[in-house]
Amino acid sequence: MGDIYSASSGTLPAIPDDLTIPQFQLDHCTGPKRSSKTPCLIEDASGRQVFLEEVRERTQGLTNALSSLYSIGEEDVVLLFSRNHLDYPIALWAVHRVGGIVSPANPDFSRKELEFQLKATKATLLIIHPDALDVSVAAARETGLPMDRILVFDVPNAKASNFITVDGLIKRGLRMKAFSDRRLRPGEGRTKLALLSFSSGTTGTPKAVAIPHIAVIANVLQLAAHSKVNEECGEWKDRRYRPGDVAIGVLPFYHIYGLVVNLHFLLYCAMTIVVVPKFNFEGMLRSIVRHKITHLMIVPPQAVLLCKHPAVKKYDLSGIRYIMIGAAPLSDEVNEKLFRLFPDAHIGQGYGMTETCTVTSIWPIERKRGISGSAGQLVPGVIARVVKTDGTLGGYNEVGELVVKAPSNALGYYNNPQATEETFIDGFVRTGDEVRITPEGELWIIDRIKEIMKVRGFQVAPAELEGTLLDHPDVSDACVVGVPDEYSGEVPLAFVVLSEDAARKVTQSPGALQDITTSILKHVADNKIAYKHLAGGVEFVDSIPKNPSGKLLRRMLRERAKELRKVVKAKL
């Protein structure tokens, strides 16, 4: 069998290839009409509401300032290093208005991680949350970015008085001559870059995924067609996305799931997004009640908390009518508990990746509940192939690597032709995930072929952690694998070969092994963001298994890790 197409009944409309993302979202939106009484955004803590006209006005003001005061223009890269903020989409769209490219970054990055992204993108401006000020200043100094090229989002009581604020720039910009952004030439939206979002791909260290404007627009329209957003189908109470519904924006906007689905798609649907800077579970429960939130877009660890955290019983969550789980698979047990907790809600899973920007599959609109364990059905416009280990194409219910072609696919990896050639092939993206597709169109993720771990929905590249481990003086070789974890999905575990000096110390004093373990864990924690820490622990081995060419035989150690976990559980 060859290509497999979407089983969805939705029809994909023409995708404009001459619009930028803000032009599509703010000027030429084809989604449901937004009522003048329905805000686009609500600030979680203060309850401040931002309506469409203010969004347009603030975007214009910042656009004027970025062009006139900072000379940001065509192909310039601006790095957004921030938690969710009311002005996050404003900053994003203002950069796009002047022709620039946005590279979102995790605001909890260490200095070295931020430096890496600044260097890889050659960013000329840094827009940050004040929580990230110290790391930003240190990274800017190291990379040669002037201090006056750091702009700070406005947050009450923030200690950033020496830096120019985004709100201040918007007010200045509104007194300037209005910058008029150009409409792209026909077809230009397919190649003009909008985002450099980082992903580890199937192997290796993080790489910048080159995402053009049409990719985000296409995925919004794919989701809208799949869910019949622009059609009057079914009773009002059963429609999945309704103008005026309220969604929580707790997914980080720097992550492709939060950026495209939670932000752009829901705004297209004329819904309201409650912007939450940082996830706190009980805080999320309070927000659901306070803002009468109807839609949750979450990741598996948050779903686990909904099912198991005792605080849930204290809050009335009966207004929830939609829960989407993405970024990593969800267990059958948690799925079934969610179904019982929210008997009237639409609940299901979706699948996608940064390289496909974003959703490849989601549960069908014809069913209120996704099939437990299934990643749903391909959205309109997606063509899938199941490539078996011998390179031939599999048919229905045959297992192989999922390879997809979609109008939302990224162009490749920025300035990395070798990695691009490995993953982007003849318009298709190799996902690195082993799957099967049923004749009914259901996509089932079987296993991960790729080496990348998914920790709390975030990608973690073993090679990146191995590089950090090898910088430790007591480590001569290392291999990192993921081990199952109920809350995080999986967590990193390091197999380590001691250096000769360290091995000698342990021989002379067995207690030294614990000191070395503590030191290794601290070394990783000091240099990597929290979800990359070695929560699975450290196991010491005499050697790391490798094939004749020197490639790590990671699968062997994954099996060994599973056996170790079984032994630990048996002792408990």
Asked which of 149, 182, 215 is the last residue of a domain, the reply is: 182
> Is 410 domain-assigned?
no
The predicted-structure confidence for 49-73, as pLDDT tens digits, reads as follows 999 999 999 999 999 999 999 999 9
> Is 255 domain-assigned?
no
Asked which of 143, 166, 182 is the last residue of a domain, the reply is: 182
Report the alpha-carbon distance of residue 16 to residue 186 in Å, rounded. 9
Percent of the chain with pLDDT over 90: 74
Which amino acid is residue 553, in one-letter code? L
The predicted-structure confidence for 380-396, as pLDDT tens digits, reads as follows 999 999 999 899 999 99
Q: How far is CA 481 from CA 195, 518, 532, in A?
A: 30, 19, 12
Please give the structure tokens belonging to residue 394: 């599999």
| Cross-strand bridge partners of residue 210 | 196, 412
The mean pLDDT value of the chain amounts to 92
Residue 526: give its domain's CATH number: 3.30.300.30
Provide the whole-model pTM: 0.86
Is a pLDDT exceeding 90 seen at residue 236?
A: no
Predicted confidence at residue 203, as pLDDT, reads: 66
Predicted confidence at residue 397, as pLDDT, reads: 93
> Is 80 domain-assigned?
yes
CB neighbour list of residue 303: distance below 8 Å, 6 or more residues apart = 323, 325, 330, 334, 338
The predicted-structure confidence for 163-192, as pLDDT tens digits, reads as follows 999 999 999 999 999 999 999 999 999 999
Tell me the pLDDT band of 548, cut-offs 50, 70 and 90: low
Taking phi over 0 as left and psi of -120 to 50 as alpha, with beta for the rest, 122 belongs to left
Average pLDDT over residues 227-256: 92
Predicted confidence at residue 550, as pLDDT, reads: 57
What angle (nearest 5°) sits at the alpha carbon of residue 171, between those of residues 167 and 173?
A: 110
> Is 28 domain-assigned?
no
Is a pLDDT exceeding 90 seen at residue 560?
A: no
Report the alpha-carbon distance of residue 283 to residue 281 in Å, rounded. 5
Percent of the chain with pLDDT over 70: 97
Predicted confidence at residue 485, as pLDDT, reads: 85
> Is 395 domain-assigned?
no
> Is 544 domain-assigned?
yes
The predicted-structure confidence for 3-12, as pLDDT tens digits, reads as follows 888 777 678 9
Is a pLDDT exceeding 60 seen at residue 570?
A: no
List the single range of 18-27, 30-39, 508-517 with lowest mean pLDDT.
Answer: 508-517
Average pLDDT over residues 75-87: 97
Tell me the pLDDT band of 254, cut-offs 50, 70 and 90: very high
Domain hosting 494: range is 454-571
Tell me the pLDDT band of 569, cut-offs 50, 70 and 90: low
Report the alpha-carbon distance of residue 306 to residue 282 in Å, rounded. 10
Burial-class residue 36 by CB neighbours within 10 Å (0-12, 13-18, 19+): exposed
The predicted-structure confidence for 108-159, as pLDDT tens digits, reads as follows 999 999 999 999 999 999 999 999 999 999 999 999 999 999 999 999 877 7
> Is 447 domain-assigned?
no
> Is 85 domain-assigned?
yes
List the single range of 18-22, 172-176, 191-195, 452-456 with lowest mean pLDDT.
Answer: 452-456
SS3 per residue for 428-461: EEEEEEEEEECCCCEEEEEEECCCCEEECCEEEC
The predicted-structure confidence for 462-506, as pLDDT tens digits, reads as follows 878 887 898 899 998 888 998 888 788 889 999 999 988 899 999
Domain count, the chain: 2
Asked which of 141, 158, 182 is the last residue of a domain, the reply is: 182
Residue pair 128/151 in contact by the 8 Å Cβ criterion:
yes
339 by DSSP, 3-state: which?
helix
Please give the structure tokens belonging to residue 302: 């948050």
Is a pLDDT exceeding 60 seen at residue 340?
A: yes
Residue 84: give its domain's CATH number: 3.40.50.980
Extract the runs of DSSP E, i.e. beta strands, from 41-181: 41-43, 49-50, 77-81, 101-105, 125-128, 150-152, 164-165
Predicted confidence at residue 571, as pLDDT, reads: 55
Predicted confidence at residue 554, as pLDDT, reads: 80
Tell me the pLDDT band of 1, cut-offs 50, 70 and 90: low
Is a pLDDT exceeding 70 seen at residue 551?
A: no
List the single range of 418-432, 512-526, 535-549 with lowest mean pLDDT.
Answer: 535-549
Predicted confidence at residue 316, as pLDDT, reads: 96
